[in-house]
């Protein structure tokens, strides 16, 4: 390893200007990468993971992607991954941060879950980038984006350019298959179609107790002015039970269809619109053979649309005006129990009042001077339930005193309506957020981000308590890319969340640190990527007197690109030092050390 790194240094030390031009044309290059710029128009401290990171670090789920981001921690239970961040506990953060796939809101309206593991709607191989936008996002994204949004942008057909077949093999008899086809068509449109499946004999418990399988389909047609895409995913997982005889299987089915249309109405006026359908079905099947069976389903279906006009009539102003509509038209619980001893069948079927939400919004992006701009806007939402109306304003000031530094100061109020499963609440949960961000370039491909924030969350929709909580924190991150293809990203987050009784919240570690380093070992064909994620000690639940120990998870991935023509292979070791097992002392047992081998072949 040392010798190849040495070879790399020798390479960069050679004076390439001495190489004849004819020979330069034949020299292979080690790609340099620029630090990705955020796409989202947000004034908070955005984190970005790109397709290149996903490939180089061997990420396999959205939860692995998010775990690498500043200030986030993503513990798992037997069945789901939970997201915690900005001081908010992992057992409650879901539903308070929304997931958007190419603009489609993918969290379900029944439980408000984001589906980050193998239950996630997208195969991560189809993701071009993930942007995590912390902070109140209701003005921009609507009710629910109480503490932020995860923006997922999917790949285009041309990013695959051919037919790709991927096979994965891993710990606990893990198997994964994927076939993707992508191409830029003659008419300029991009087409991407993908199907994949995964199965394993348990992610956490000993073999056989925790069987998991999923199937995923995705298709996207992307032309200049319109696009159409659809996705379907179903995951089934066996929850480990105490006796060896009975079984409990959970199912999560997510699907959506999205149509988008954009056009220039006039030289200074654009229309951007979208229409969507989505559904989520949660099922559980408990079976004690020859004794008892209980099957149940929770079904949610919704559709909606959004139309936005973006005008640049006035100098220095970009004005957006929009209307939105969302109809959660089906919320249904049903189930049947079979008592096989007494031959008794019992069933129930209940539907809940559907919900319609209308929204109106307006934003102005005002360039006061070349170095100072003000973004402000408001969203008004009205539902046909007890909540009636919701107002979410925001404002941010962006100051760039010189080329290398940007200061962003933002404030806003965000809201979240109760999900169906939380029952009827007459007030939305509210978050008042303030954040100060500094983005500083420190020389070539070196960037520092610092953030200070304070959230006050009131009218909490939470089991058993409605007290307000205050979250405060400071974050710092440095990212650097070297021209040899080495990339470093490291961050530290300090967070402090207390409720109105002065109690520290459970599942909210005070310190989180991340370290990510990806380096070529041999040209660009062999690359090693390592990450370390430190989770500081935390209380397992609010009011607990004992802290859970801090731990550090280290992941290693070795990627061989074009090892044979068109073939990429990677080997991933997750939690190399087996530190996350410590979580077993709580009710959130972690997977421990696992291995994964993946082969990806592209027919071109």
Partner 1 sequence: MRQLVLFLIFVVSFLRADALPEYTIKAAYLYNFALLTDWHDGKMSGDFNICFYKEDFGSASNALNNKVLHNQNVKISTVTTAEETKECQIVFIREGEEQRGEKLIQKLAGTSVLIVSESPKISDAHITMLRDNRKIAFDINLKPIKAADLSVSSRLLKLARRVEQ
User: Which residues of the shown chain bind partner 1 in the complex (CB under 8 A)?
Assistant: 4, 7-8, 11-12, 14-17, 19, 21-22, 24-32, 34, 37, 403, 443-445, 482-485, 522-526, 558, 560, 563-564, 569, 571
**How far from the centroid of its chain's Cα atoms is residue 426's Cα?**
30
Q: How far is the CB of 282 from partner 1 (least distance, A)?
A: 40
Based on CB atoms, which residue is closest to partner 1, 325 or 601?
A: 601
Q: Phi first, then psi: give them for residue 119, nearest 5 degrees.
A: -80, -10
Q: How far is the CB of 152 from partner 1 (least distance, A)?
A: 22
Q: 238 forms bridges with which residues in the sheet?
A: 249
Q: How far is the CB of 46 from partner 1 (least distance, A)?
A: 16
User: What's the length of the chain?
Assistant: 604
Based on CB atoms, which residue is closest to partner 1, 32 or 378?
A: 32
Q: How far is the CB of 543 from partner 1 (least distance, A)?
A: 44
Q: How far is the CB of 411 from partner 1 (least distance, A)?
A: 29
How far, in Å, CA of 132 to CA of 475, rounded?
A: 14
Based on CB atoms, which residue is closest to partner 1, 186 or 403?
A: 403
What is the pairing mode between strands 372-383 and 511-522?
unpaired
What is the pairing mode between strands 148-154 and 98-101?
parallel
Instruction: Answer yes or no: are the C-beta atoms of 535 and 551 closer than 8 Å.
Output: yes
Q: How far is the CB of 171 from partner 1 (least distance, A)?
A: 14
Based on CB atoms, which residue is closest to partner 1, 6 or 208?
A: 6
Q: How far is the CB of 525 from partner 1 (least distance, A)?
A: 5
Task: Read off the tokens for 190.
Answer: 């991009």
Q: How far is the CB of 596 from partner 1 (least distance, A)?
A: 12
Q: How far is the CB of 199 from partner 1 (least distance, A)?
A: 23
Region of residue 200 (left: phi > 0; alpha: psi -120 to 50; beta: else): beta
Based on CB atoms, which residue is closest to partner 1, 404 or 426?
A: 404
Based on CB atoms, which residue is closest to partner 1, 16 or 245?
A: 16
The dihedral formed by the CA atoms of 141, 145, 151 and 154, expressed in degrees to the nearest 10? -80
Give the CA angle between residues 484, 159, 516 to the nearest 5°.
Answer: 40
Task: Read off the tokens for 244.
Answer: 């060896």
Based on CB atoms, which residue is closest to partner 1, 33 or 385?
A: 33
Based on CB atoms, which residue is closest to partner 1, 84 or 168?
A: 168
Based on CB atoms, which residue is closest to partner 1, 8 or 461?
A: 8
Q: How far is the CB of 129 from partner 1 (least distance, A)?
A: 14
Q: How far is the CB of 446 from partner 1 (least distance, A)?
A: 9
How far, in Å, CA of 293 to CA of 247, rounded?
A: 10
Task: Read off the tokens for 11.
Answer: 């390479």
How far, in Å, CA of 425 to CA of 555, rounded?
A: 43
Strands (E), 202-289: 211-222, 226-239, 247-266, 269-288
How far, in Å, CA of 148 to CA of 37, rounded?
A: 18
For 90, the enclosing helix (H) or strand (E) is helix 90-93
Region of residue 354 (left: phi > 0; alpha: psi -120 to 50; beta: else): beta
How far, in Å, CA of 590 to CA of 192, rounded?
A: 34
Based on CB atoms, which residue is closest to partner 1, 274 or 555?
A: 555
What is the pairing mode between strands 148-154 and 127-134?
antiparallel
Based on CB atoms, which residue is closest to partner 1, 342 or 402?
A: 402
Q: How far is the CB of 523 from partner 1 (least distance, A)?
A: 4
CB-based contacts of 242, cutoff 8 Å, min separation 6? none
For 8, the enclosing helix (H) or strand (E) is helix 2-13
Based on CB atoms, which residue is closest to partner 1, 15 or 290?
A: 15
Helices marked H in 486-603: none
CB-based contacts of 304, cutoff 8 Å, min separation 6? 275, 276, 324, 325, 326, 327
Task: Read off the tokens for 240.
Answer: 């480990």
Q: Phi first, then psi: give them for residue 442, nearest 5 degrees.
A: -120, 60
């Amino acid at each position: 390893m040392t010798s190849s790194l040495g070879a790399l240094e020798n390479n960069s030390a050679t004076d390439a200007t001495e190489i004849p031009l004819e020979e330069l044309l034949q020299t292979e290059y080690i790609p340099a990468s620029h630090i990705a710029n955020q796409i989202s128009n947000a004034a908070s401290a955005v984190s970005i993971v790109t397709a290149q990171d996903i490939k180089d670090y061997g990420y396999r789920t959205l939860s692995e992607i998010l775990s690498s981001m500043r200030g986030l921690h993503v513990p798992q239970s037997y069945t789901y991954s939970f997201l915690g961040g900005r001081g908010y506990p992992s057992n409650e953060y879901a539903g308070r941060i929304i997931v958007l796939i190419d603009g489609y809101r993918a969290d379900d309206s029944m439980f408000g879950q984001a589906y980050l593991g193998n239950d996630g709607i997208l195969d991560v191989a189809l993701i071009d980038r993930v942007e995590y936008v912390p902070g109140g996002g209701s003005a921009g994204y609507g009710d629910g984006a109480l503490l932020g949004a995860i923006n997922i942008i999917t790949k285009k057909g041309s990013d695959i350019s051919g037919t790709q077949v991927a096979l994965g093999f891993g710990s606990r008899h893990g198997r994964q298959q994927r076939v993707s086809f992508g191409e830029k068509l003659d008419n300029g449109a991009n087409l991407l179609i993908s199907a994949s499946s995964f199965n394993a004999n348990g992610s956490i418990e000993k073999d056989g107790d925790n069987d998991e399988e999923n199937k995923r389909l995705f298709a996207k047609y992307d032309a200049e002015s319109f696009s159409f895409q659809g996705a379907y995913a179903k995951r089934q997982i066996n929850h480990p039970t105490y006796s060896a005889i009975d079984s409990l299987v959970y199912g999560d089915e997510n699907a959506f269809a999205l149509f988008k249309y954009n056009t220039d109405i006039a030289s200074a006026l654009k229309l951007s619109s979208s229409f969507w359908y989505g559904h989520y079905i949660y099922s559980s099947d408990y079976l004690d053979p020859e004794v008892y069976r209980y099957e149940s389903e929770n079904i949610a279906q919704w559709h909606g649309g959004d139309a936005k006009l973006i005008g640049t009539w006035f100098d220095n102003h970009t004005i957006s005006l929009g209307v939105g509509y969302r109809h959660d038209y089906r919320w249904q619980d049903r189930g049947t129990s079979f008592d096989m001893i007494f031959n008794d069948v019992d069933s129930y079927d209940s539907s809940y009042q559907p919900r319609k939400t209308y929204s109106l919004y307006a934003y102005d992006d005002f360039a006061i001077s070349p170095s100072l701009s003000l973004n402000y806007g408001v969203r008004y939402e009205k539902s046909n339930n007890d909540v009636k109306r919701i107002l979410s304003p925001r404002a941010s000031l962006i100051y760039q005193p010189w080329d290398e530094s940007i200061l962003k100061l933002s404030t806003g109020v965000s809201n979240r309506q109760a999900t169906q499963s939380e029952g009827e609440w007459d007030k939305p949960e509210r978050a008042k957020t303030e954040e100060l961000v500094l983005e500083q370039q420190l020389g070539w491909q070196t960037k520092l981000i610092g953030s200070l924030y304070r959230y006050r969350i009131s009218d909490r929709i939470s089991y058993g308590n409605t007290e307000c909580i205050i979250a405060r924190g400071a974050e710092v991150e440095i990212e650097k890319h070297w021209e040899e293809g080495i990339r470093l990203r490291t961050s530290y987050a300090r967070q402090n969340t207390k409720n109105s009784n002065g109690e520290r919240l459970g599942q909210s570690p005070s310190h989180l640190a991340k370290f990510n380093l990806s380096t070529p070992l041999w040209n660009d064909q062999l690359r090693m990527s390592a990450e370390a994620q430190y989770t500081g000690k935390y209380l397992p639940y609010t009011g607990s007197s004992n802290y859970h120990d801090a731990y550090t998870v280290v992941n290693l991935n070795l990627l061989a690109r074009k090892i044979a023509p068109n073939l990429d292979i990677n080997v991933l070791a997750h939690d190399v030092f087996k530190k996350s097992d410590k979580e077993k002392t709580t009710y959130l047992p972690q997977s421990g050390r696992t291995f994964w081998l993946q082969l990806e072949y592209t027919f071109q």
